[in-house]
Amino acid sequence: MLKIDKLCKKMNNAFSLRDVTFEVPDGMIVGFVGANGAGKTTTLKCVINAVVPDSGNIEIFGLNAAEHEEEVKQRIGYAAGAFECFLQLRLSKIAASYSTFFEQWDKAIFDKLCAIFGLDISQRVRELSQGMKVKFALALALSHHAELYIFDEPTSGLDPIIRDEVLELFRDIVSDGKTSILFSTHITSDLDKVADRVVYIDNGAIVLDTPKDELLDSHVLVRGSRESLTAELEERAIAVKRNEFGFVALVERSKLPDVTSCTTEKPTVEDVMVFYNKELHSENAF
């Protein structure tokens, strides 16, 4: 579906994408995570050719994304957070204009999504809340029978009920085994609910790229008192967080030593991100 190979892009003297490589297989939801400034948005913009890479290759539907840009974009649904353009125009006017760009625009789907999201298309963009602007951007992106959806922070600003409905919609979209979704998010609980695969980027480079269940099953959170933190455990841990009550450590399950004096539990995606980030930036820790 989507293949990114050795993508490089120097943005300024402080930041570059460095050999970014990963795939979005058919019928999967891939969560793209990382701290602010890690390179998520830059990567996604390279995929849609809004930012031109310095080197590397992006292939979508088996086609070079840059050489076949028009054809590829007909088959992609894209949304980047809240809709912030044409603030004085009514939603109906924007949707009518937007529909002219896509051969498979489906007004029935758009109208249905507006009803689900509670969007009044007679309103102007400037009259919408931040959350409603996000819903409008999603409604536009989801209304032309795309085969690959690329979303940058698609659930940001949504209330928990609508966010859950959007995530269920994502699962329905990929249930045909052919359509795929790549989305970046800071709401890691969304990944726990729907992601099939997690790609973690840090400082412009891919740190982890693995099936979500495999990622979580292969790591263990260990909790215990300060006295139960052995030198062996600390050495094998990806990172350790200490507090006044004891410690919490993330350890690869295959490297887990005897921890009978501690408690263990399965981590969340957020746990894995936090501890890997701590390990990657330990030299900057207080």
What is the pLDDT, as a whole number, of residue 160? 87
Q: Which domains does the chain have, with CATH numbers?
A: 2-211 (3.40.50.300), 218-284 (no CATH)
Structure tokens at 139: 């409604």
What is the pLDDT, as a whole number, of residue 283? 56
Give the whole-angstrom CA distance, residue 151 versus residue 181.
8
What is the pLDDT, as a whole number, of residue 157? 76
Give the whole-angstrom CA distance, residue 198 versus residue 128.
32
pLDDT digits (tens, 9 = 90+) for 243-283: 888 999 999 999 999 998 999 999 999 999 999 988 888 75
Q: What is the pTM (predicted TM-score) of this model?
A: 0.90
| Exposed e or buried b per residue across 260-271, where buried means at least 16 C-beta atoms within 10 angstroms of its C-beta | eebebeebebeb
pLDDT along the chain (286 residues), means of 10: 95 91 96 90 94 95 94 95 91 96 95 93 94 92 96 86 88 93 91 94 94 95 94 95 93 93 94 90 57
